[in-house]
Amino acid sequence: MRQVLLVEDNGADVLLMQRSFRSRAPDFDVRAVPSLTAARAALDRGRIDIVIADLMLPDGNGMELIAAAHARGCPTIMLTGRGSESMAVQALRAGALDYIVKSDDHFADMPRVVQRAVREWDNLVEAERNRGLLAQSEQRFRMFTELAADCFWECDADMRMAFVSEGFARIGKVAPEDLVGAPLHEVFGTPDQGFDWTPIEALWRQHREFEFEIPTARNGSTARTLYLRGKPFRDADGEVAGYRGIGRDVSREREALREITYLAMHDPLTDVLNRRSLEYEVSNALSGVVCNGDQHVFCFFDVDSFKAVNDEAGHLVGDRMLKEVVATIARNVRTTDALGRMGGDEFGVLLKHCALPRAIEITGTIVSAVAAQALSHDPSRPKHLTISAGIIALTPDHDIAQVFRDADRACYDAKGDGGNAVRVGETQRSAW
């Protein structure tokens, strides 16, 4: 049961909010307190999943709770009796996830708003965790590179090898003594590698330290990535006599780093983009809308009644079904489009350079294809899932949160009409 802390001193508003949650989101328990003091005490006493706070309270401004809630790991939504654009901006800058003007319609819609806010918060926490893991991995590999070396080398003032340690035989498959007198770029490179040595030669002529990575392969061996670092050394008269340095095969580290980067950008279950990467794609698309007048459409998909599938067949079967749904979506969009998992059984597709009428056709095809597909978890008892979809065309007035929110709302309308349907965002229906 998710715990909602409602900070509101108007008893009538409290009753409306609690009644709305009981009927539309029974898995959320709404506990009401009338003041900032009581809210802080409630946050200190136990786990709260989300705080909904009135702006004007008897003992202060509700925005004072935003930092306290974040410190305890939960998001905040602000309520106000009167709309104010400046106050909304101030609340969002302070860290609130949303800003709602009180009305009967908005109270009725609060369960959906809260469900979306909790999902967004969970995704933000997960994205922050992934960023931390990626930073740790990058730091680890940098440290390994600095501390370890596979070979040592020395060049004279003409960039010709004077010494190469035995370790190079493990990298280049060549005896070190056979390399003495060879130019540096022939030892650590190959004629067809296409690597530009000009910057290295410029640093050499300036007697400056250098380090770089170079793709290299010798004698038919597999392609590798070699890290080289060199420093000038001087003779007894103080003149630069050449360079000494290290070489290290960092192929495995670079491959591991590429894999970590891929995992940080993709959903581990379905292997499509994760929410963070999808947000990046939408952000770039919005820039194209503003700067170039590009046409892009965002489609929000939600599997209908998926909880019942998990309860009936189990989560492993449910996971396989989600993979098949994603595969069906992928078959009906272009490789240049961006397909990602928003979380749970929700997916998003950014149809790039696509007009709204065409996007409606594509989305309808996807919804029909999923409904017609007999999923393969049990051949003797084929299961048919359906999905609902919400569509929104990107405009210069949109930001990322608004795109996701409008598409989510349109999808919510489709599910409310029975599911297995497509709905266009309300603000764009008349325009289309």
- Per-residue model confidence as pLDDT tens for the chain (432 residues): 889 999 999 888 889 888 989 988 888 999 999 999 999 999 888 889 999 998 888 998 888 888 888 888 888 998 887 766 677 778 888 888 888 888 888 888 888 888 888 888 888 888 777 777 777 766 665 555 444 567 788 899 888 988 887 777 666 667 777 788 888 877 776 555 567 778 888 888 899 998 888 876 544 456 678 888 889 998 888 889 999 888 888 888 888 888 888 888 999 999 999 999 999 999 999 999 999 999 999 999 999 988 888 777 788 888 888 999 999 999 999 999 999 999 889 999 999 999 999 999 999 999 999 998 866 555 555 677 899 999 999 999 999 999 999 999 999 999 988 999 999 986 555 444
Which CATH fold topology does 266-429 show?
A: Alpha-Beta Plaits (3.30.70)
Which CATH fold topology does 2-123 show?
A: Rossmann fold (3.40.50)
Rg (CA), the chain: 29
**Amino acid sitting at position 388:** S
Would you kindly state where each structural domain of the chain is located, as residue ranges? 2-123, 148-256, 266-429
Distance of CA 210 to the CA centre of its chain: 35
Tokens of 89: 């901006």
Burial class (CB in 10 A: 0-12, 13-18, 19+), 87: middle
For the domain made up of 148-256, the CATH class stated in words is: alpha beta
Tokens of 408: 């989510």
- Whether pTM > 0.75 for this model: the answer is no
Whether residue 120 contacts residue 97, with contact meaning beta carbons closer than 8 Å, is answered with yes
Bridging pattern class, strands 151-156 and 60-61: unpaired
Burial class (CB in 10 A: 0-12, 13-18, 19+), 126: middle
